Structure 1
């Protein structure tokens, strides 16, 4: 993946995390991502830095979804 594509993905994930944080009442844990200090607008940072930020951001979102999925039951039949 090119750096420009990675930065674009980083921006999209940042938007998703913001929206998901709103839906989940603000309990999204992005401590690892925040500690990196890399934002989608940090275009001067390296491709490796953005890759680490993307993985940290995606990990924070999905771990919260995993926690939420354990408490919700899903009907075994489709609509």
Structure 2
């Protein structure tokens, strides 16, 4: 994948994270992503830096979604 494509993917994942947090009120775990210190607007950073950020952000989003999917929903009849 080219650097420009990684930066684009990074930006899209950041938008997914923001949308998820706004819709659910839950925060996506940021520790690993924050430690990378690369944002989608950091175009001067290396391709590998953006790749690490994409993987960290994707892991945080999928972890949050997996936790949400395992929550039990009480049975109720309408």
TM-score, length-scaled by structure 2:
0.87
Q: Which runs of 4 or more aligned residues in structure 1 lie more than 4 Å from their structure 2 counterparts after TM superposition?
A: none
Say whether 1:32 aligns with 2:38.
Answer: no
CA distance in 2, matches of 1:34, 1:24: 21
Query: Which ranges of structure 1 fall in alignment gaps of 5 or more residues?
Result: 74-79
Partner residue of 1:49? 49
Paired residue secondary structure (2:50): helix
Paired residue secondary structure (1:27): coil
TM-score, length-scaled by structure 1:
0.86
Number of equivalenced pairs: 73
